[in-house]
Amino acid sequence: MSDDKKDKDKDSKRDAPGATGRLTRRKFLGLSALAGAAAASAPVIARAGQSQGAPEFGGWPNAYGMLSDFTLCVGCRSCERACNEVNRLPAPDAPFDDASVFEQSRVPSAKAYTVVNRYKTGDPSRPIMYRKIQCNHCLEPACATACPIHAYTKTPEGPVLYDKDLCFGCRCCVISCPFSMPAYDYESALDARIVKCIFCYPRIKEGKQPACAEACPGGALTFGHRAELIEVARKRIAGHPGRYIDHIYGEHEVGGTSWLYLSSVPFEKLGFPAGLPNKPVVELAKGFISSVPVIFTTFPAIFGMVYGIARGNEKAATKEAGEKEAHHG
């Protein structure tokens, strides 16, 4: 009996150095495997996070919107002029009645909240269409989601506003905006800032409509409550068969935008981005963001455990080695 025990002891002692060697190797493989396991488990965590995310927002009730009907736009650029005057923007590069600007495709810039572009549609019944471009004032704006300093606010009235006193100029809003609308003023070293349409927020607060809508002579811009504008747009589509394609752009795109559009040709032909999801951009990152606290709570336990095991093995190995030495000595 006691001999048996002695033998066992001997065996374990004999194994000790070899065992440590194996453990080291195993531990190393464990490291690599864990790197893989952590990588593999992250989507699970992310997916778990998605289901527990904040409830859907869906936009402020009674928010204002604008219906922009491209079939009624004649490309007069009155909206550009009115916007420039009301918002006291710098003088334009070319006068507002200069039609040569249509030769190129323009985007809103540090000097202009809005521009009108001309598109060749390839449709014989309507070969040329004009499109007014400005910030779409999303119901759940990607810019506001992306901003690390919360310099953007979605007001209950509808406008998405930007506070240049908070901005540090990372331009992540520009990266994230599905429509690439925020324009960054790169020209200034000290006063660099984002410039974009403010949906005439001060005028809306005064009960007026935005300057562009007031200036539009063709009735292409209709200002009102967004919910009602969707009804108006539906009636127009139903009431004028053949005039419109059956799509109100902005009703669902990226969770809905305050600006809504009607057209007689597919919106891609007017330079609208294709492939946008119908859910707000914030939803795409929510899963990741909600997985962060999970990592913070689980990792200390996981790696604490790994450390404990590694430490325990090491102690056992040294102890056994020490005992063996004592035995021999």
Partner 1 sequence: MAENLEEFTRAAAPPHVFRQWFMDKLFMGMSVREYSRSIATPFNLIAALILAASAPVFYMRYVHGLASVVDASNYYPWGILLSWGIFAGEPLYACGFVMAAAYYIFGIKSFRPFVRVAVLGGMLGYIFAASYLLIDLGRPWRIYYPTIVNFGTSSVLFIIAWHVVLYITVQVLEFSPTILEWLGAKRLHAWAVSATVGLVVGGIILSTVHQSALGALYLMTPGKVQPLWYSSYLPVLFFSSAVYCAMSFAILLVYAGVRYFKDKSDEAFLRGAPALTLKLGKGAAIAMYVYFALKVLALAMDNRWAYLFTGWGYWYLVELLGFVAAPMLLLTLAVRRESIGLVRFAALWAAAGVVLNRFNVNIIAYNWYLPQHFEQIIPAPTEVMMVVAMVTFQILCYRWIWNRFPVTRELPEYRNAH
User: Does residue 89 interact with partner 1 by CB under 8 A?
Assistant: no
* Residues binding partner 1: number (CB under 8 A): 75
Stretch that binds partner 1, among 72-80, 102-110, 122-130, 230-238 (CB under 8 A): 102-110
Helix (H) or strand (E) holding 306: helix 281-328
Interaction between residue 53 and partner 1 (CB under 8 A)? no
Q: Does 166 bind partner 1 (CB under 8 A)?
A: yes
Task: Pick the closer one to partner 1 by CB: 12 or 318.
Answer: 318
Asked whether position 106 contacts partner 1 by CB under 8 A, the answer is no
Q: Which two tokens stand for residue 275?
A: 């492939």
Residue with smaller CB distance to partner 1, 88 or 150: 150
**Contact flag: residue 103 with partner 1 (CB under 8 A):** no
CB of 111 to partner 1, least distance (A): 12
Residue 131, CB half-sphere, CA atoms under 13 Å: how many?
28
| Max Cα–Cα distance, the chain, nearest Å | 108
Across the chain, where does the E strand assignment appear?
64-69, 115-120, 128-133, 152-154, 160-162, 183-184, 194-195, 221-225, 259-262
Kindly report the CA angle at 143 between 139 and 145, in degrees rounded to 5?
Answer: 80
Q: Sign of the C-alpha dihedral, residues 280, 281, 282, 284? A: positive
Per DSSP, 75 falls in state: -
Report if residue 198 touches partner 1, rule: CB under 8 A. no
Query: In the set 3, 4, 103, 187, which binds partner 1 (CB under 8 A)?
Result: 187
Cβ proximity to partner 1: between 133 and 212 the closer is: 133
Instruction: State in angstroms the smallest separation of the CB of 175 from partner 1.
Output: 6
Chosen residue from 67, 115, 160, 183 binding partner 1 by CB under 8 A: 183
Q: How far is the CB of 94 from partner 1 (least distance, A)?
A: 19
Q: Kindly provide the residue ranges of all beta strands, DSSP E only, lying in 151-295, ordered along the sequence.
A: 152-154, 160-162, 183-184, 194-195, 221-225, 259-262
**Residue 49 interacts with partner 1 (CB under 8 A)?**
no
* Beta carbon nearer to partner 1, 156 or 312: 312
Of 133, 131, 160, the residue nearest 256 (C-alpha): 160
182 binds partner 1 (CB under 8 A): yes
Least separation in angstroms between residue 8's CB and partner 1 is: 27
CA atoms of 218 and 75, how far apart (whole Å): 10
Q: With CB under 8 A as the contact rule, which of the stretches 83-91, 122-130, 154-162, 298-306 interacts with partner 1?
A: 298-306
- Give the x-and-dash track for 256-295 against partner 1 (CB under 8 A): -----------------xxxxx---xx-xx--xx--x--x
At residue 249, the 3 state secondary structure works out as strand
Q: Could you write out the DSSP letters of every residue in 117-175?
A: EEEE---TTS-EEEEEE----BSS-HHHHH-TT--EEE-TTS-EEE-TTT-----HHHH
Q: How far is the CB of 79 from partner 1 (least distance, A)?
A: 19
Q: Which of 82, 146, 197, 220 binds partner 1 (CB under 8 A)?
A: 146
> CA–CA separation, 203 vs 189, rounded Å?
31
User: From the CB of 100, what's the least distance to partner 1, in Å?
Assistant: 19
Candidate ranges 29-37, 63-71, 209-217, 242-250; the one touching partner 1 (CB under 8 A): 29-37
